[in-house]
Structure 1
Amino acid sequence: MRRVLVAGNWKMHKTPSEARVWFAELKRLLPPLESEAAVLPAYPMLPAAKEVLSGTQVAYGAQDVSPHREGAYTGEVSARMLSDLGCRYAIVGHSERRRYHGETDALVAEKAKRLLEEGITPILCVGEPLEVRERGEALPYTLDQLLASLNGVEPNAPERLVIAYE
């Protein structure tokens, strides 16, 4: 049976200097864990996470990933780059990325595939907008979103991903 994962998405909070201090304090205060724990800071904090959290029970990961393996994609960060930084997890399909950046289920599936190719566990976010919930259609909406976000992902991948209901 899988262990429980408790993951914190930092969103766009803290500077790299603040993050380094926070990671060091976490490392100092961390009791033995029975569940998996991960922090998901913004990209600039990942090198500090690697440096400070290596050897602890706290994994770290990214808040997003490019659907492209590499190339001329200004501002994008590839799964290979995240792997090189030691990321164990990365979020895909977050409601804010879907809402503010127009990310589709098909794009989310591509991102999940890139992560799996590099041995990184996708944290696949699914969930319905308020108006769908108010109509009582949350379950079919979310199931459709989940299936579409996994379209083309290898059949054994569900063993290697995390589903987060927002």
Structure 2
Amino acid sequence: MRTPLIAGNWKMNGSSELVEAFGRGFSEASLSEALEVVVFPPFPYLEAAQRCFSGTPLKLGAQTLNPLHSGARTGEVSGRMLREFGVAYALVGHSERRQLYRESDEDVYDRLLAALSVDMAPVLCVGETLEERDAGRTMEVVLRQVGYAMARLEPEQRARVIIAYEPVWAIGTGRTATPQQAQEVMAGIREYQAGFDRDLASGLRLLYGGSMNADNAAELLAQPDIDGGLVGGASLKVDDFLAICQSAG
């Protein structure tokens, strides 16, 4: 039985007030104990979030990390530093990192290894652009991104990776893949993983990212291969994010 996971990626948004509001809102929330909920705030809010989220179901994640543990990398943050603030998850390969900061599959893999090395669960983000989808290349692109990382990992490492499918054309646009479109890709990822290990594939947690909100979450999460969501804009509102979590639990 796979544990559902709802993750909120605040991106470069948020405030101290929002951190406190989430702490208050989720301290009173009634959620299934089988559900995991993670928030990925900007780095400056990690200390406040660690304090405000104490006693709530909320866990902490980082939006990225540097592959190195320390060194002359001005402006960067390492996994060891993040662990000091209780960070247990790390996004790697988000489409904005791939596009805006030119992170290659190799860069993403290096960050994934860095997360694993400090006992953080990496959330590997994969997805196609609108041009790639229209060209019928969705599975080619997605499985290339998945395979570059997963084929290089040891079985024990693969078992700790979470994969988030985020169609680039549905991020921040208000457009959402239909539940059937999302399910088709998720099933393809799981089938690919079965080539390594069928038990691993059956336990692999797959998240949908791409304009999931309180209105469409239940239908998306009802799909057999969708185990949770990587939520963007809707994760910036306590009530909306809580509603998504309740849809999963």
Same fold (TM over 0.5): yes
Alignment of 1:28 with 2:49, yes or no, is no
Cα contact 2:20–2:49 (8 A) shared by 1: no
Name the structure 2 match of 1:39: 39
Name the structure 1 match of 2:228: none
Name the structure 1 match of 2:106: 106
Name the structure 2 match of 1:62: 62
**d(CA) in 1 for partners of 2:78 and 2:24?**
29
Name the structure 1 match of 2:77: 77
**d(CA) in 1 for partners of 2:74 and 2:151?**
26
**d(CA) in 1 for partners of 2:91 and 2:42?**
11
User: How does 1:145-164 map onto structure 2 within 5 Å?
Assistant: 145-150=145-150, 152-164=152-164
* SS in structure 2 at match of 1:59: strand
**d(CA) in 2 for partners of 1:162 and 1:77?**
21
Q: Give unmatched runs, 5+ long, in structure 1.
A: none
Q: What amino acid does structure 2 have at the position aligned with 1:31?
A: S
User: Identity across aligned pairs (percent)?
Assistant: 42
TM-score by length of 2: 0.63
Cα contact 1:106–1:151 (8 A) shared by 2: no
**d(CA) in 2 for partners of 1:157 and 1:113?**
9
* SS in structure 2 at match of 1:69: coil
Cα contact 1:63–1:90 (8 A) shared by 2: yes
State the Cα deviation string for residues 110-151 of structure 1 (Å, max 9, x = none): 101111111100010001111110001100111011111335
**d(CA) in 1 for partners of 2:80 and 2:62?**
12
* SS in structure 2 at match of 1:3: coil
**d(CA) in 2 for partners of 1:116 and 1:45?**
23
* SS in structure 1 at match of 2:55: coil
Name the structure 1 match of 2:121: 121
Name the structure 2 match of 1:96: 96
TM-score by length of 1: 0.93
Q: CA deviation at 1:22?
A: 1.9
Aligned-residue Cα RMSD (Å) equals 1.4
